[in-house]
């Protein structure tokens, strides 16, 4: 455990000395309503936690929340840090590793994303089953702390197959359409060009966004299981829609998708909890 991670954990323990979450949840743009379901929440601003930075993007509140969702203890990251804001990788590493250090075994990652598939439009959900890292870097570059994870690690099953299947099963039971696909992560903050989207489709991408992948890499490095659901907020550039892609649109359609996620994620957590207990 690095000194910075220890300092961050110490600051959190001052507010919640005995709280041990089973799951972490990272909330993307327009998806903060999920956090409103937590019972008896303990809320800590990122700025009160050493090593973390506060983002300035609308739709990201920069709050760490501890509470219960469907009776299961969780740590909810209400707002993520974005590399396009100039945030250092260290802040992102600490944010994800906090989830593991608090005691969680799984992180549920949500995000807003553009769809590269015409049949999966705004307001729909997509289960991410693999990714393409098109960021200019990797969050594990630099000295490696063997107490956290190995120098070299496999990402062959970065998105846990069993948990992903459970998410699909729960969505089916709730009659919530849930597509599957590959997520390509770009740095941003500019949206993609039509030419880039055509290239990404050739590569096999189904959704595009500006987050997720660095978090998944850090999560898998420290031993967290990962399941990820994207809220589709738009069809990607050049795919037939004449509506200009904007962050306001991202938030709007993210809220529509969030109405499905607020049913899906609590039901998923409850289902997995029952399966682990049997």
List the catalytic residues.
Answer: 29, 60, 82, 84-85, 112, 210-211, 234, 247
**Closest of 185, 232, 221 to residue 83, by C-alpha:** 185
Contact (CB, 8 A) for 75 and 98: yes
Measured between alpha carbons, how far is 233 from 23 in angstroms, rounded to an integer? 25
DSSP per-residue string spanning 40-68: EEEEEEGGGSTT------TT---EEEEEE
Please, which residues have CB within 8 angstroms of residue 108's CB and are 6 or more apart in sequence? 23, 24, 25, 26, 227, 228, 229, 265, 268, 269
Measured between alpha carbons, how far is 147 from 69 in angstroms, rounded to an integer? 30
Between strands 106-115 and 225-235, the pairing is: parallel
Write phi, then psi, for 2 (nearest 5 degrees). Answer: -70, 160
């Amino acid at each position: 455990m690095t000194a910075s991670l220890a300092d961050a954990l110490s600051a959190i323990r001052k507010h919640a000395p005995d709280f041990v979450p089973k799951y972490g949840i990272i909330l993307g743009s327009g998806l903060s309503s999920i956090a409103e379901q937590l019972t008896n929440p303990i809320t800590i601003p990122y700025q009160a936690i050493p090593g973390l930075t506060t983002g300035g993007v609308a739709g990201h509140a920069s709050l760490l929340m501890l509470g219960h969702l469907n009776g299961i203890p969780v740590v909810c990251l209400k707002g993520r840090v974005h590399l396009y804001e100039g945030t250092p990788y260290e802040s992102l590493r600490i944010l994800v590793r906090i989830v593991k250090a608090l005691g969680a075994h799984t992180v549920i990652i949500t995000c807003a994303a553009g769809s590269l598939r015409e049949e999966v439009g705004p307001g729909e959900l997509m289960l991410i089953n693999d990714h393409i890292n098109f960021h200019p870097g990797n969050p594990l570059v630099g000295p490696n702390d063997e107490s956290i994870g190995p120098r070299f690690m496999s990402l062959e099953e970065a998105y846990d197959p069993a948990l992903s299947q459970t998410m699909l099963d729960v969505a089916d039971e709730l009659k919530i359409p849930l597509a599957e696909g590959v997520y390509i992560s770009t740095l941003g903050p500019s949206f993609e060009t039509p030419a880039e989207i055509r290239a990404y489709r050739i590569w096999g991408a189904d959704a595009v966004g500006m987050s997720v992948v660095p978090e998944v890499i850090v999560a898998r490095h420290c031993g967290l299981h990962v399941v990820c659901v994207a809220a589709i907020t738009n069809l990607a550039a050049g795919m037939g829609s004449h509506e200009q892609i904007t962050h306001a649109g991202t938030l709007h359609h993210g809220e529509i998708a969030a109405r499905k996620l607020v049913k899906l994620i609590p039901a998923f957590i409850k289902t997995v909890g029952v399966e682990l207990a049997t």
